[in-house]
Structures are given as C-alpha cells and as structure tokens.
Amino acid sequence: MRDGKAAPAEATTRREFLANLLLGLAGALGAGAVAVRFLQFLSPPKPPERVVEVPAIALASIPDGGGRIAHLPGGHVAIERMGDRVRAFSAVCTHLGCVIEWQPDAQQAWFCPCHHGRYDREGRVLGGPPPRPLPPIDAVVRDGQVFVKLTVRAPAGVA
Amino acid sequence: MSASSLRRWLAERVPVPMEELRKPLREELPAHLRTWIAWLGGTPLALFAIQVVTGILLTFYYTPDPARAFESVRHITLAMRYGWLIRSLHQNAAQLMIIALMLHMIRVFATRAYRRPRELTWVFGVTLFLLTLGFGFTGYSLVYDSLSYWATTVGTNLLGDVPLVGHQLLWLLRGGPDVNPNTLSRFYNFHIGVLPTLMVAAIVAHLLLVRLHGVARLEGDPRTETYEFFPEHVLREAAVAIVLLLALVVYAMARPPGLGVPADPSFTPPHIRPEWYFFPSYRWLKMVPMQVGIWTSAAFVLGMVAWPWIDAGLERLAPGRRIGIWIGTAGFLFTLVLLVWEALS
C-alpha cells in the first residue's frame, strides 16, 4: 500500500473493487434486461379490437316485457323487450364475471346465481355485491331481428 | 462382484462421507413427538409424494386445451386402466394434504414451536401451505367441468379487484383479458411446472431448517428422555403414510371419481363454489365489501407469515399473558365458523 501500512491479506484494492463493481452492474443490467423480456413474453399482446353489429336473437323469441340472454362469440348479451323496442346490457355480472339470468320480480329483472347480485330493468344494482351497473350495449330491431353492437377482439396476428 | 467390493468401487467413484450422512438419522427427538399430532409434519410430505407419482401418470393423457381437457379427463377416468384409481388418489390425497398441513400448523402454533430462532422454519411452512392452496386452485381448474370453469372465472376475477396492479396480475395469470385458451395452458404449467419447483425448494428449506435447529422442546414438559429419528420416528411416519394410502385406495373403490358437466362459458350454474378449503375466504368475501375483503384477506395471510414476530412482540408487551394464543385461537375459530357456515349453506 502507498502509505506503507501492512494491509490484511484479503483486503480488496481499489482497482479490484471497481472492476467487481463494474462487472456486477453489467451482470445485473444484463440479467434484468433479459428478465424483463421473459415477463413480456408471458403477457400476450392486446389483440386489435373493433366494434361490429351482429344479429343477436329473433325479437319474437323474447316474450314481451321479458328478457333473454344471447350468447354470441363477442360476449354474452342481456336483452329486454318492451313491445317493438329492446334494451341491451352486458350479461356479465360486474362483481366477479358470472353470467346473469332473467329472473324478474317487482323491481328486479336480472339475477346473478354466483353471489346473488340483483339488477333492475335498467341494469342498475339493486342489491348484492356488484360494484357497478351492467354496461349498456347498443341494440336495434330490424326485420324482426335484434342487432347489437359488440366490441370484438381478433386473435393476435389476425387483422 | 461381492457386496464389499461393490461398496469399495462405489465409494471410490462417489466419495461421499457415509458416516456424516448417517448422523441425521440418529438425531435425538424429544419425547413429546411420540404423540400422534406431533408426527404430522411428515404426513404432508408422504402425501406430496403420492401427488407427484399420480400427477406424473395423469400428464400422460391429460390435454390442457379447452376443447379437449374435459374429454381427456373422461378418457383417463373411464377408458384407461386404473385411471379412476389414479385420478381419485390424486384428487383425494390433495384434500388430505391440506388437512394434514392444517393439523401440523395447529400443532406448531399451539406449542409455539415457531419462536426464535425457528421463525424462518415457520415462514417456509406457511409458504408450503400457500403453495398447496395454489396447487388446489390450479388443479381444480384443470378438470374443466362446469363448476371448475366458473370457479376459475370467479377466483381469478377477484384478483382484478386488487388495487393498482390487479389488472396486470389478472392479465398475466390468464394470459389475456378473460378466461381463454391461454388460461388453461397457463394453469397447467403452474400446476406441473412452476408450483412443483417452488414446492420442492420450500420443502428442502423447511426440512433443512428443522434439521439444523433440531425439534423444539415442548414448553413445560418435564420429560427429558429422547428417541432416535431412525428407525422409530421414520417407522411411525411410514405407518401413517401406509394407512392413509390404504384409506385412499379403499375410498377410490367405494366412490370412484365422478365427472361433472363439461364447462359451458355461456351458462353459469346456480351453485358454483370453490373447493372446501377456500370456503372461509369465499364466505368472507360474500359478507363484506370487495375492497375490505381483499385487504383483510391480505392482512390475514401476512399476519400468518409474520406470526413468530407478532407473537414475540405481544409477549414483550404483556409478558406471560399469552395474548398470542388467544388471538390465534380466535382467528382459527373464526375461520372454522366461516368454513362450516359456507358448508351448511
């Protein structure tokens, strides 16, 4: 050592320390960069989404004043009929994702069998654990057929 | 080649110090370990071994693809020779493993064997319990019948309500925005790849610490006699394992595993429920608002992990009052009430 004191045999010199530090940092950076890519691999890219209007159900198959669920490739849709008009919601319970069913009483229209969430005819929460109302879905009737506007996802890589 | 020359040949090629390796076998165990509830540490390990063997067998025919998963389970159960037995053993050894772990934890808790310096042994033990619950959840999903599909949907959706990172976690766990084909292959991977790797690592750490510290002496137990780990203790553990295996086989013959209805993503069956060991949290989450449920559940798990330190803190606050035992007993009884309540409803 420069000041002439005896250094312990295992003491690290400044040069060794810096070299180890650099190597350690480079190693950590490299391993970190690879680890981030590993995580990205596990998270699939979001598929492109588009809104499409699809035929959901024949109007005649819903009793007047009643409701039915249409199971479509783009999602489950709850549809209510009032004469020639319809109203539609997502049929996926906003609590934990079960599919609701038509089960009306004085106030209630839709009921979730999983945790007994209850919604009225406008999709508002009447009781039970659901945190939000049912999201509305645009629906029209043309030629006796109910059409709904759904956001569909194409599988990744397919336009 | 005679036995002794074979031994010499082997000792030269694999130079392990046999004397050193035999030492742990002669470990002296305190007398209280002869009580049945104190053996149960080895039982989950024996049941895990059954899970590994039957699980590997099941992978020969199981297909983790939504279109074919249920069919492959049916195929295993009905068409493959002894498929019903393998599946039943796998399913029910899992249930027993959870019961055995619970009993083991209750014993360690009640005897306060987790105290300094054995805190980390407890932490690895709780980790093993949580991993076993992970096995249960992912395994239940793989059956892909109607109930298991919806239990997966509901169970994973819960994660989405975790503040800040919930959405990312959910995406990562399911491999997409909803339960989709990626989800099943992911769950399969967790079940047969990720979780077993973590499990083996945690078992090794847990057992290593148990060995390094030695078994804790029972507080206030006047007995000083000990007995040897091998053969007496090993024979006791083996006896429990054999009786349980026999019971599992008899159960499989008496009640072969059934098949539910294939999963239908468009229809939620009216009575979906997780497996019984999730009943307490299931009931709790039904009772309280979502955020309260999530935070209290997280606090419960954290409290369990950190219990040795919490208990030590309580002991310092009020020496000799044993507040920890009361809190623990209250927590346990509360969990039990939730479980029974859900089971009966």
Identify the residue with better confidence: B154 or A159: B154
The answer to whether B154 contacts A101, with C-beta atoms less than 8 Å apart, is no
The answer to whether B116 touches B308, Cβ cutoff 8 Å, is yes
Q: Which of B146, B266, B273, B290 is the mutation pick for testing A, counting most A CBs within 10 A?
A: B266
Query: Please, how many CA atoms are within 13 Å of residue B167, restricted to the half-sphere of its CB?
Result: 1
> Is the ipTM value over 0.90, yes or no?
no
pLDDT of residue A9: 62
Count of CB atoms within 10 A of residue B198's CB? 16
pLDDT at A5 over 60: no
Q: Does B158 touch chain A (CB under 8 A)?
A: yes
pLDDT of residue A54: 92
The answer to whether B91 touches B276, Cβ cutoff 8 Å, is no
Residues 6+ apart with CB under 8 A from B101: B44, B128, B129, B132
Phi, psi of A85 (to 5 degrees): -100, 155
Vertex B19 angle, CA B15 and B22, to 5°: 115
Of B168, B176, B266, the CB nearest to A44: B176
Chain B nearest C-alpha distance from A145 (Å): 21
The answer to whether B154 contacts A98, with C-beta atoms less than 8 Å apart, is yes
Where does residue A148 rank: exposed (0-12), middle (13-18), buried (19+ CB within 10 A)? buried
* Rounded Cα gap, residues B64 and B72, in angstroms: 9
Residues of A in contact with B177 (CB under 8 A): 46, 153
pLDDT at A145 over 90: yes
Residue of B nearest to A43 (CA): B172
Residue of B nearest to A128 (CA): B286
Q: What is the DSSP string of B44-109?
A: HHHHHHHHHHHHHHHHTT----TTTHHHHHHIIIIISTTHHHHHHHHHHHHHHHHHHHHHHHHHHH
The answer to whether B266 contacts A97, with C-beta atoms less than 8 Å apart, is no
pLDDT of residue B168: 86
Residues 6+ apart with CB under 8 A from B182: A44, B174, B175, B176
The answer to whether B286 contacts A153, with C-beta atoms less than 8 Å apart, is no
Phi, psi of A74 (to 5 degrees): -90, 0
Q: Which of A99, A132, A151 is the mutation pick for testing B, counting most B CBs within 10 A?
A: A99
- Closest Cα to residue B339, out of B293, B279, B287? B279
The answer to whether B153 contacts A44, with C-beta atoms less than 8 Å apart, is no
Mean pLDDT per 10-residue interval, chain B, length 345 residues = 88 88 85 80 94 97 94 95 95 96 92 93 97 96 91 87 85 83 92 97 96 85 85 89 95 92 84 88 86 91 96 91 90 94 91
Asked whether the whole model's pTM tops 0.90, one would answer no
pLDDT at A6 over 70: no
Positive/negative CA dihedral, A84, A85, A91, A95: negative
In chain B, list all ranges with CATH 1.20.810.10.
Answer: 30-272
Chain A nearest C-alpha distance from B76 (Å): 29
Residue of A nearest to B170 (CA): A43
pLDDT at A156 over 50: no
Q: Does B271 touch chain A (CB under 8 A)?
A: yes
The CATH homologous superfamily to which domain B30-272 belongs is: Cytochrome Bc1 Complex; Chain C (1.20.810.10)
The answer to whether B268 contacts A114, with C-beta atoms less than 8 Å apart, is yes
pLDDT confidence tier of residue A2, bands split at 50, 70 and 90? low
The answer to whether A131 contacts B290, with C-beta atoms less than 8 Å apart, is yes
